[in-house]
Amino acid sequence: MKTFLDDSSLERCAKLHPSFIEELNEDTRKKILDRMIFSTYEKGESLFQEGEKADCLYIIRQGNVKLATYDGEGKEQIVSIFSPGDTIWVAVFLKEKKESVYPYNGICLDDAVVGKMLREDFESLIQDTHSALEIIALLSKKLSDANERNLILSVSDPKAKIARLFLYRLNHITGDVVKLKLEDIAAHVSLRPETVSRKLGELMNEGIIEKVGQSSFRILDFERLVDISQN
């Protein structure tokens, strides 16, 4: 990790992928940015690890970050994947905040630029009524997003799960190319890699998606993907 101080680059990232900060009024936005430290992380580097004290919130400016944990057999389970513009609110939502720890790992899927703010700084900021109302409205969007992720796992059909994951990711990016490795898809939807590989093959043979590079897929037929997701 290296501290990232190039303001012009940060501004470009913010314009390309606005976070909740850009939706706030100028005064509140400045207060948050004054308390936030932006750093660069390499692919595979951790923002935080399971069991560490949960005391910060993170804003993704560039790159993708996965939240993951491991079951008793050492199998990775992906809780969520965050893209540029997303905020990791874990430390804010935990109930017992003074003694709370991260329940999973935050790992960069590629080189990333991430802003970090102490939870206590954030909480002191929202003591202001106007700021609190603004942020509460934005947090409600976050809870809606969490419900959307839960819906991915609510279906039993493997192909429908994968279709829902693609649609979810499409809703959080610009363009029609979803960047996900096979093992990340498998962990995210709780399926075996061979099952995911087979279902991806079916989607490609049906002309619904196509492989782009080593770890990305282009959506070719959005309507049919939606139909499959509803099975």
Averaged pLDDT, 175-203: 88
Would you state the pLDDT for residue 114? 94
Phi/psi of residue 106, nearest 5 degrees: -110, 110
Q: Map tokens 């804010």 to a residue.
A: 92
Which domains does the chain show, CATH number per domain? 2-142 (2.60.120.10), 155-229 (1.10.10.10)
pLDDT at 144 over 70: no
Would you state the pLDDT for residue 195? 94
pLDDT at 14 over 70: no
Q: pLDDT tens digits, residue range 174-188?
A: 788 998 888 888 877
Would you state the pLDDT for residue 150? 64
Distance CA 109, CA 193 (A): 18
Distance CA 226, CA 7 (A): 40
pLDDT at 32 over 60: yes
pLDDT at 135 over 80: no
Within 8 A by CB and 6+ apart from 127, the residues are none
Would you state the pLDDT for residue 6? 60
Number of neighbours of residue 136 by Cβ within 10 angstroms: 10
pLDDT at 4 over 70: no
Q: Of 101, 112, 89, 104, whose CA–CA distance to 9 is shortest?
A: 112
Would you state the pLDDT for residue 129? 56
Query: b vs e for 88-101, b when ≥16 Cβ sit within 10 Å of the residue's Cβ?
Result: bbbbbebeeeeebe
DSSP codes, 151-189: HHHT---HHHHHHHHHHHHHTTSSSSEEE--HHHHHHHH
Per the confidence metrics, is the pTM higher than 0.85? Answer: no
CA 108 distance to own-chain centroid: 10
Number of neighbours of residue 74 by Cβ within 10 angstroms: 6
Give all strands (DSSP E) within the chain, no chain letters. 2-3, 37-41, 46-48, 56-62, 65-70, 76-82, 87-88, 105-108, 112-118, 177-179, 209-212, 216-219
| % of the chain beyond a pLDDT of 70 | 76
Q: pLDDT tens digits, residue range 110-119?
A: 899 999 999 8
